[in-house]
Amino acid sequence: MSQSEPGQMTQQAEIPDGGVNRQFALLDEFVASLPYKKENLIAILHRAQEIFGSLPEEVQMHIAYLLDIPAAKVYGVVSFYSFFTMKARGRHVVNVCTGTACFVRGAAKIQLEVEKQLGIKTGETTEDGLFTLESLRCVGACGLAPVLVIDGKVYGKVEVGQVKEILGEYREK
């Protein structure tokens, strides 16, 4: 069964001819391909976030309409899970791992440094729309703690002094 694969979810899917209609069409196509719908709400939201980059109100309304369920139910699920976001993310999503292993190896300092370098707090997006800073709980690369994840790429054994350089790579991209 073709289900959305998480992982690249932080980046928008490649949309050849662009446009909102095309995005909705992609979502409709995905929903149509599912053998059962309402029970697949979470998979649908994953796919929608992949397509749209976030889950704004109109997308949630559309999904509610497609599945014939109350929009409140869709919103209830979106707001429950930390993976879903209603705000558009920046081009690059920076995640500081705040799992226990990273915590005891100084993740807080890394987080402060990233906040300083980007001039935003965790959960915010830079004004130029380039970076969104988030924190996540454990990517399971505890041997490399503290860990910084940018667009799915894991940077291990990060030191405060390296943060600027690492972020710099993405400023140029």
Partner 1 sequence: MRLETTDALNRLRDESQRLIEVRAQARIEPWEQQMGSIPEDSGAEKAESIPECSGVEKTESIPGGVGVEDTESVPQNAGEKNKEEVEDQDKDKDKDKDREEPAPEGAGGAAPEERAKREMTVLVCGGTGCQASDSEEIIARMRKELAARQMQDRVRVVKTGCFGFCEKGPIMEIHPDDVFYIEVSPDDVPAIVEEHLIQGRYLERLLYVNPVNGERLERNLPFYHRQLRIALRHCGLIAPEDVKEYIALGGYQALAKALFQMKPSEVIAEIRASGLRGRGGGGFSTGLKWELMSRAEGGQRYIICNADEGDPGAFMDRSILEGDPNSVLEGMALAGYAVGATHGFIYIRAEYPLAVHRLQTAIRQATGYGLLGERILGSDFCFGIEIKYGAGAFVCGEETALIHSIEGGRGEPSVKPPYPAQEGLWGKPTCVNNVETLANVPIIIERGADWYAEIGTEKSKGTKVFALAGKVNNVGLVEVPMGTTLREIIFDIGGGVKKGKRFKAAQTGGPSGGCIPAQCLDTPIDYESLLGIGSMMGSGGLIVLDEDDCMVNVAKFYLEFTVDESCGRCTACRVGTKRLHEILSRITEGKGELEDLDRLTELGGIIKDASLCGLGQSAPNPVLSTLKYFRDEYVAHIVERHCPAGVCEALARYTITEKCIGCTVCAKNCPVSCIAGSPKKQHVIDQERCIRCGTCQAKCPVDAIVRK
Residues making up the annotated binding site are 97, 102, 138, 142
Nearer to partner 1, 19 or 70 (CB): 70
| Interface pattern 87-106 for partner 1 (x via CB under 8 A) | -----------xxxx-xxx-
70 binds partner 1 (CB under 8 A): no
40 binds partner 1 (CB under 8 A): yes
84 binds partner 1 (CB under 8 A): yes
Within the chain, strands assigned E span 92-97, 131-136, 148-150, 153-155
The rounded Cα 133 to chain-centroid distance in angstroms is 10
Distance of closest approach, residue 127 Cβ to partner 1, in angstroms: 26
CA distance 8 to 2: 16
Residue 41 burial class via C-beta count within 10 angstroms: exposed 0-12, middle 13-18, buried 19 and up: middle
Residue 134 burial class via C-beta count within 10 angstroms: exposed 0-12, middle 13-18, buried 19 and up: middle
Find the binder of partner 1 among 15, 33, 58, 76 (CB under 8 A). 76
- Interface residues with partner 1 (CB under 8 A) are 1, 3-9, 38-43, 45-46, 73, 76-77, 80-84, 98-101, 103-105, 136-145, 147, 152-156
